[in-house]
Amino acid sequence: MDALDDGDDVPQLPANTLRLLDEFATEKNTAAQKFKDLKLQSEGDFDGRLSMEVFSEDWGRVLRMNVRFVYYDLEHPLQLPAELKNKFDRIICDPPFLSDDCQTKTALTVRYLAKSWTAENGTSDGLRFISCTGERVGEIIARLYGKVGVKTTTFEPEHSKGLSNEFRCYANFECSAWTWRGA
């Protein structure tokens, strides 16, 4: 006899819960498609029409790559699949905390993922790197990413929730959307 034929009711979620789950799935699918479109755009020239609205706010510990997700624990920044080591030439990061510890651990992960870690004529050899984080951690950003030519740009990220911290965009390349600050 089938377990479902024993006369017991099959548990079901309430309709409003199912609706919320459906909305959540739709939002995640939309964000995944935007991310996929952004990846395709990044393979061409960056035209500066990028906003943080493309990315969903996720205070969890997830490393986003392409369309798949890989569990990432900030406390163990190098515990990543070996097949990801030295595979990426485009990295965008937004570290979750404005502390030296968080910035250092993020940099360890970036270095693990990056194809190269050398600078050549003010830009790195193939790596295009962006970090949007607080202005107050600018000195440690300069120390951690100086070898790949990261500098403060003129682009000023704004948080949609209106956080009071001043944010900066640090990158190792210039484009039509920004130049080097103070240049």
- Residues with Cβ < 8 Å from 36, sequence gap 6 or more? 66, 67
Supply the pLDDT for residue 165. 82
More confident residue, 152 or 9: 152
Handedness of CA 66, 72, 76, 80 (dihedral sign): negative
Can you state the percent helix, strand and coil of the chain, rounding each to 5? 35, 20, 45
Residue 73 predicted with pLDDT over 80: yes
Percentage of the chain modeled with pLDDT above 70: 75
Which one, of 39, 37, 31, 40, lies nearest residue 62 by Cα?
A: 31
The pLDDT tens digits of the residues spanning 116-158 come to 887 655 554 578 999 999 999 999 999 999 999 999 999 988 7
Helix (H, G, I), strand (E, B) or coil at 91: strand
Percentage of the chain modeled with pLDDT above 90: 45
Q: Per the confidence metrics, is the pTM higher than 0.75?
A: no
Lowest mean pLDDT among 3-12, 27-36, 76-85, 108-117: 3-12
Residue 65 predicted with pLDDT over 60: no
More confident residue, 67 or 6: 6
Residue 7 predicted with pLDDT over 80: no
